[in-house]
Structure 1
Amino acid sequence: MHARFLFCLWFAVMPYGMVLAAESAPGRIAVASAHELATDAGIEVMQAGGNAFDAAVAVSAALAVVEPASSGIGGGGFWLLQRASDGMTTMVDGRETAPAAATADMYLNESGEVERDWAVNGPLAAGIPGAAAAWVHIAERYGRLPLQDLLAPAIRLAEEGFPVDEKYRRLLGWRTEVMQRWPETAAIFMPGGGVPELETIIRQPELAGTLRRLAEQGHAGFYGGETARLLVEGAREAGGIWTLDDLAGYRAVEREPIRIDYEGFELITAPPPSSGGIAIAQILNLIEPYDLPSLSQVERIHLLAEAMRRAYRDRALYLGDPDFVDIPTDMLLSPFYASGLRAGIRLDRATPSASLAADPSLIRESNNTTHFSLMDADGNLVSATLTVNLPYGSAFAPPGTGVLLNNEMDDFSAAEGEPNAYGLIGFAANAIAPGKRMLSSMSPTIVRGQDRVAVLGTPGGSRIITMVLLGILDFIEGEGPESWVSLPRFHHQYQPDVISLEPDSLDDESIAALEALGHEVEVRTRSWGNMHAVMWDRASGAVEAAHDPRWTSGGARVVAPED
């Protein structure tokens, strides 16, 4: 069966696996996140009577404290929710927005050149944060417990502190010089003036105060009142353009997920302003006629790279904020459109990206993000991917708030064809505009089969889509979450026209075979991604959770609710 986009008719032809979910429950709870203390927060809230949606708020807030390099209350993200009782699925979009004073040329100097420093460092680089609004939205609409209970673990971690780990040190090492421009910010994350030693305790009393106001007052506790005043005053004094109206006007929104039927599995994944769901659907459409398990490793990588190339080309041409850009979703997800694209794929030769009819343009985005997956005892599911863009975002925290601001404005196109911090270029569809949400590749995903359910996602910038794709295919082929998160990774994104490989992921003979097909192959010096996943096997009753072995800070736990 062709992978296809399922419209509202899905509710009338609900897949068999979904019906089973309403008739049975795992009886156990599971959380996999990038930090064991955040995982503990999710377990704590569910054991106190909260559901998966309550736990999602608790894990998000705890990550904002203990993993400031990757996400935070000064950033945003996407939360994919599925309710077991009726099969309802929605994505809560807490992506940042451009301030009202933002302009398409705000990062250009007098010579018309992009000032990269303006776009990535300090408050001018920050979009209006969406994380806090998303937490409140999820708690009020889908949770069981008061917001104060959900934020209590994060407040405790901010007040009592947490120990520095190697990931904290490594990512801070890339941003030390910028962080030191603002002494009050550096004092929070670099006590002593430099990168802290392992096990140094980081305490954030001002962030605890910000979280407490949010817990007590809800949306108004962050987007109004004392917190909003401090955020705006601090940002403007340091060169930012935020206003109180920018904050007061921010709202999280719900979006209908992308649904894909592939090989008897239903995939539920992120819609625009994420590019992930559409790109994953296109890749699956393109490879549908091929028997992947029968292919050699080189043939498989070649075929997937050709499909990735074409999906990323369309990503560049068509995708953006759906409230600002008319996205031809029906066309992109049509099996007939895929057939036309597939006609140009040769199994004996790579297709040069320059020969595809498009400008070699990609949308700018981050490479430092976080993800968590979780499930409660009733079978409610959450897959969430969160970000502040570069490690430690803009490196600026408005005094008195403890809120490290994102630098997501660099995910827009500052100038057509001009590369961003990651060498990616963009054009008009992703130009800066007031109130607009920047395009993302964050791809939180749920996959349902007749007997098994997977919840997965990962950080990784433009590589998120391909990592999630590889994890999905591994799940469909019968593997468990330990395998998905550990897979060797490869990636192609149309431009640059190269297959990227993780170190030691492929032997020299296989690399030579790919090159003989016409591919340029680059073996990267570092691995990428940080996948966290949960699986429920309804046939056996088993529940599994796994965190990516590339980082040791992650935590994955499966326990009974009463343990």
Structure 2
Amino acid sequence: MVHAPSWRVLAASLFLVVGAGSASAQSAPVPTKGPGHAAIASANYLATNAGFEVLGKGGNAFDAAVAVSSTLAVVEQQSSGIGGGFMALLHRASDNRDIFIDARETAPKAVDMKVYVGKDGQPNRDTSTNGPLSAGIPGEPAGLVWMAAHYGKLPLSVSLAPAIRIATEGFQPDARFLGTIEDRKDVLARYPASAAIYLPGGEVPSAGWTLKQPDLAKTLQRLAAKGRDGFYKGETARLLVDASRGAGGNWTAADLEAYQAKEREPLSVDYKGYRIVTAPPPSSGGIAIAEILNILAGFDLAKLDVAHATHLTIESMRRAFRDHNEYLGDPDFVKMPLDMLLSKYYADGLRATISPDKATPSDLLPAAMAPEPGMHTTHFSVIDAEGNMVASTLTVNLEFGSAFVAKGTGVVLNDEMDDFALVPGQPNAFGLRGALANAPEPGKRMLSSMSPSFVFGADRTAVIGSPGGSTIITQVLEGILAFIDGKSATQITAQKRYHHQYLPDRVDVEAGVFDDATTKALTDMGHVLRNRSPWGFMNVVTWDHRTNTLDAASDPRRPSGLGKVQ
């Protein structure tokens, strides 16, 4: 076993390797011609069909993404919505360009960490997860407008039409939607506008209930008619600010007017002949995935038994999440050692600390030398006939976000303030611990685990992502490895999962992921395994260049989803 002093020497030496190598990869081996047909996989069949409706009107993958996102904002409000944010990875076939759109929420100017800390010095989870003080300034509307204006072919009025129609005419929520209302009913009941929508007559609705949302339809109509100003200025902005401040929140008109979606350079990493393009900060997911893949690149996992290959993967997860907790934050506010974290040499050093047959207790890993950082999200994947691609992960954070609906808008506000390190070193709702790099500041974006990704190979391409809080990172990692192993979209979404995030020091496992012999072997190595209920809602689209065929699959754990090729 490596002792703590050796670890500290290693950590110090690794800091000197900044810029020596990075995860920057070679040009993607993408085909020069599109597949001639399209595929969409999303968490709800109405959203998937909305995407195809817009494609049928002459739109491209980016227009379809606007349609899918806005429809999910109507039919899957427990997971996403225009009161939240998203991160989207785009591939434009015409010039083989990859783009990352950061529509993450931001902290309002009046943010005050003291309101999120209880008298005992611990995080006040009620304030950080419920009601208007838990809400960051939404990014999804600005991100959708940006995507449509810069990459789409159709006006917003066309791409938003399916969502407006469904909000006006109504739909019947599925069992998952109704179950989430049951889970959050006590908090929803606190706020009159929320209760009026989700608790008719003061009760949780039964199956067969039709939910009509005229206020949300009007909000979407203003967005369609006026673009960004239709949400961040004018009537919608006034209603949002009045509702927030009237219930004890701190939003101002200036907060909304100042919000901007941003384009950032995606991360890219080579792994055994494949190029993985993924999310940069303020997502932590891409950095962690790249770091894990760089570590694993030094092992020949195919020659190992399942137990030892899994052990090495868990140990790589452990080290990447340690760095996640210490270094990462909003790149507009925090200087992060990304060259170091993405360096092949840094991965070599981390790999050398892994015992081939013994778990490393997380408390033996040194504190990183930082410079002074659930299933309540959704994801969809798109490939269109020209070969344009979108991987988009959207969220309001926890179930129904803050559970607070701004009166007159139909908009459920997020509770993303909990994703900041409100009390450095203390876990958030997903058990992740952060440092000062992820402390809240006015206008700052909170760190995210969202990891929309592309996997480019000589013969096949995948568009992949999932919700799941901190487990997003490991789900996408395991999906990438499964795709590289030759699995289909259906096999990738259905495969059993496991997860380690440094702290708490345990491996969460889905029933059936390991056989008895593998479970015993991992336990004998010192891993603590904990069974938990199935997690995630992965949506994957794949493209086989050899046959020029597409495949789409939605996670079988959630029957409301639909992967469709047309």
Moved more, 507-516 or 237-246: 507-516
State the one-letter code of the partner of 1:455: V
Find the aligned partners of 2:512 and 2:484 in 1 and give their Cα distance.
Answer: 25
2:541 paired with 1:528: no
Q: Deviations over 1:156-187 (max 9, x none)?
A: 01001111211102222221100001122112
Q: Does 1:90 align with 2:99?
A: yes
Of 417, 424, 436, which residue of structure 2 is paired with 1:428?
436
Match of 1:550 in 2: 557
Equivalent residues of 1:98, 1:128 under 8 A apart: yes
Which digits, 9 at most, give the CA deviation of each residue in 1:232-285, with x for residues without a partner? 001100010000000000010000000011111111100000011111111111
> Is 1:416 aligned to residue 429 of structure 2?
no
Code of the aligned partner of 1:535: T
Matched, 1:58 2:67: yes
Q: Which amino acid aligns with 2:560?
A: S
Corresponding letter in the other structure for 2:27 = M
Structure 1, unaligned stretches of length 5 or more?
none
The answer as to whether partners of 1:354 and 1:360 remain within 8 angstroms in 2 is no
Alignment of 1:182-221 (within 5 A): 182-221=191-230
Deviation at 1:4, TM superposition (A): 6.9
Query: Is 1:176 matched up with 2:185?
Result: yes
Q: Is the counterpart of residue 511 in structure 1 residue 524 in structure 2?
A: no
Secondary structure of 1:330's counterpart equals helix
Structure 2 letter corresponding to 1:324: F
The answer to whether the 8 Å contact 1:408/1:438 transfers is yes
- SS of the residue corresponding to residue 146 of structure 2 reads helix
Contact 2:21 2:345 in 1 (8 A): no
Please list the CA deviations of residues 182-220 of structure 1 after superposition, one character each: whole Å capped at 9, or x if unmatched: 122112122232221122111110000000000000000
Q: Mark the CA change 1:424 to 1:281 in structure 2 (over 3 Å): closer, same or farther.
A: closer
* Matching of residue 232 in structure 1 with residue 232 in structure 2: no
Match of 2:447 in 1: 439
Query: 2:253 matched to 1:277?
Result: no
- Mapped partners of 1:185, 1:459: distance in 2: 24
2:150 is the alignment partner of 1:137: no
CA spacing shift, 1:4–1:190, aligned 2, 3 Å = farther
**Cα separation, partners in 2 of 1:388 and 1:466, compared to 1, 3 Å:** same
SS at match of 2:405: coil
TM-score (normalised: structure 1): 0.94
d(CA) in 1 for partners of 2:369 and 2:122?
A: 20
Aligned to 2:388: 380
5 Å-filtered alignment, 1:215-364, equals 215-358=224-367
Deviates more, 1:102-111 or 1:537-546: 102-111
Contact in 1 for aligned 2:380/2:393 (Cα 8 Å): yes
Q: Which amino acid in the other structure matches residue 426 of structure 1?
A: G
Query: Which structure 2 segments of 5+ residues have no match?
Result: 1-19
Kept in 2: contact 1:164–1:197 (CA 8 A): no
Evaluate the alpha carbon distance shift between residue 4 and residue 549 of structure 1 in structure 2; reply closer, same or farther with a 3 A threshold: farther
2:401 maps to 1:393: yes
Counterpart among 45, 61, 64 of residue 36 in structure 1: 45
User: Does structure 2 retain, via aligned residues, the 8 Å contact 1:73–1:129?
Assistant: yes
Q: Is the 8 A contact 2:23 2:290 kept in 1?
A: no
* 2:468 is aligned with 1:460: yes
Q: 1:111 to 1:463 in 2, by over 3 A?
A: closer
Whole-Å separation in 1 of the counterparts to 2:90 and 2:243? 35
Question: Can you list the C-alpha shifts for 1:491-535, whole angstroms capped at 9, x where unaligned?
Answer: 1111111111012322333222111001111111x1100000101
1:479 to 480, 483, 487: 487
Distance 2:118 2:312 in 1: 43
> In 2, Cα distance between the equivalents of 1:302 and 1:270?
26
Asked whether the equivalents of residues 5 and 259 of structure 1 are also in contact (C-alpha less than 8 Å), the reply is no
Q: Please state how far the C-alpha of 1:480 moved relative to its aligned partner.
A: 1.1
Instruction: Evaluate the alpha carbon distance shift between residue 415 and residue 25 of structure 1 in structure 2; reply closer, same or farther with a 3 A threshold.
Output: same
Query: 1:414 Cα shift?
Result: 1.6
The root-mean-square deviation of aligned C-alpha atoms, in Å, is 1.7
- The alpha-carbon deviation at position 427 of structure 1 amounts to 2.4
Q: Deviations over 1:322-360 (max 9, x none)?
A: 111111111111111111111111111111111110179
The amino acid that maps onto 1:282 is E
Residues 12-46 of structure 1 show CA distances to partners (whole Å, capped at 9, x for unaligned) of: x533x13x2xx211001111000000000000000
Instruction: For 1:392, give the aligned amino acid.
Output: F
Question: 2:487 is matched by which residue type in structure 1?
Answer: E
Contact 1:313 1:360 survives alignment (8 Å): no
In the alignment of these two chains, the number of paired residues is 545
Whole-Å separation in 2 of the counterparts to 1:322 and 1:529? 27
Q: How far, CA to CA, are the matches of 2:531 and 2:476 in structure 1? A: 20
User: How many Å separate the matches in 1 of 2:542 and 2:230?
Assistant: 36
Pick from 94, 100, 105 the counterpart of residue 109 of structure 2: 100
* 1:162 and 2:171 correspond: yes
8 Å Cα contact 2:23-2:344 kept in structure 1: no
- Partner SS state of residue 412, structure 2: coil
Cα 1:349–1:360, aligned 2, differ >3 Å: closer, same or farther?
farther
Is the 8 Å Cα contact of residues 4 and 285 (structure 1) preserved in structure 2? Answer: no
Conserved? CA contact 1:166–1:198, under 8 Å: yes
Q: Is the CA contact 2:431–2:503 (under 8 Å) kept in the aligned structure 1?
A: no
Give the deviation of 1:6 after TM superposition.
5.1
Deviation at 1:94, TM superposition (A): 0.3
Give the distance between the partners of 2:516 and 2:208, measured in 1 at CA: 40
Query: Deviation of residue 470 (structure 1)?
Result: 0.6
Q: Distance in 2 between matches of 1:223 and 1:112?
A: 35
Name whichever of 102-111 and 185-194 sits farther off.
102-111
- Residue aligning to 1:80: 89
Instruction: Check conservation: 2:326, 2:434, Cα contact below 8 A.
Output: no
Amino acid at match of 2:252: T
Instruction: Kindly state the Cα deviation for residue 113 of structure 1 after the two structures are TM-superposed.
Output: 4.1
Q: Aligned to 1:81, what secondary structure does the other structure show?
A: strand
